[in-house]
Structure 1
Amino acid sequence: MADKKAKEKDPIDIVHQNAIHVETILKEHRCQKLYKNFSINPYKKLHVLTDKPMAKNTQEEVEEDPAFIKIIHGARLQPTKKYTHPLTESQEIGWISSPLIASDRSDRRLNFHRQNSEITKYMDAAWRLKEQTQNLG
């Protein structure tokens, strides 16, 4: 029984708790930075709230900041226009979307144009006739 009483919590030592508290505050102050320049996150969509309907319009017209407008428009660009190379593995697929060679529509090796035979001409006429009868009925 004496061992159980010794294992119970020791009485609270206020001096030790105060020393721990002071050390914690000093560590927080050492890692803290003071920020003076604040701006809106351009990557987050803005939700503009309107005034109350019966309130007097006391707001003054504010001029647009061209630097902020440029940042907002830059944030909404396509990734290929924002960055020089893909940032993730999934962006690598389709990053280069321009064709590797110029396409020549007159080259018959790569372009197979639609050709009609007697059967396809007959079926085109049959489908047109079917559409006309459905539209009338």
Structure 2
Amino acid sequence: MAARSAKEPLDPVRLNQLLCERVRKELKCQRLHTEYGVNPLQREKFLNLIHHAALEPTKKYSEPQTESQEIGWNTKPLVPMDRTDCRFYFPRRKTEVTK
């Protein structure tokens, strides 16, 4: 027993055999999953996440996240639209020149 406990260095051929056997066993038990599905127990959470990701940034966030989002972030008019006020409302008119 004492002779067995002393470790002898393995030759490269034996080392390669052990490695090949290990790889063969790992590949036999390994499966590659390429198709994924929705967890039926958390389907609503997943759908809410997908719908939230599809929203435009103004509906997702309360403030712009980047400097380029700052341009056009506030799209509401500063003054409410009043069609009777001729200072702010200029409808297209047909005239003899434009016909």
Give the TM-score, by structure 2 length.
Answer: 0.51
The correspondence for 1:71, drawn from 29, 38, 49, is: 49
Q: How does 1:117-136 map to 2 (within 5 A)?
A: 119-120=96-97, 124=99
Residue of structure 2 equivalent to 1:7: none
User: Identity over the aligned pairs, expressed in percent?
Assistant: 45
The correspondence for 2:61, drawn from 76, 80, 83, is: 83
Aligned partners of 1:84 and 1:65: how far apart in 2?
A: 27
Aligned partners of 1:106 and 1:91: how far apart in 2?
A: 34
- Residue 57 of structure 2 is aligned to residue 98 of structure 1: no
Change (3 A) 1:112 1:65: closer
Q: CA deviation at 1:115?
A: 5.2
Return structure 1 stretches of 4+ with deviation > 4 angstroms: none
Q: CA deviation at 1:72?
A: 0.8
Q: CA RMSD in A?
A: 2.3
> What amino acid is aligned across from residue 84 of structure 2 in structure 1?
S
The Cα offsets for residues 53-91 of structure 1, whole Å up to 9 and x where unpaired, read as: xxxxxxxxx747111111111111111111111111000
Q: CA deviation at 1:109?
A: 1.8
Aligned partners of 2:76 and 2:54: how far apart in 1?
A: 21
Aligned partners of 1:115 and 1:106: how far apart in 2?
A: 19
Any unmatched runs of 5+ in structure 1? Answer: 1-47, 49-61, 125-137
Q: How does 1:1-137 map to 2 (within 5 A)?
A: 63=40, 65-113=43-91, 114=93, 116=95, 119-120=96-97, 124=99
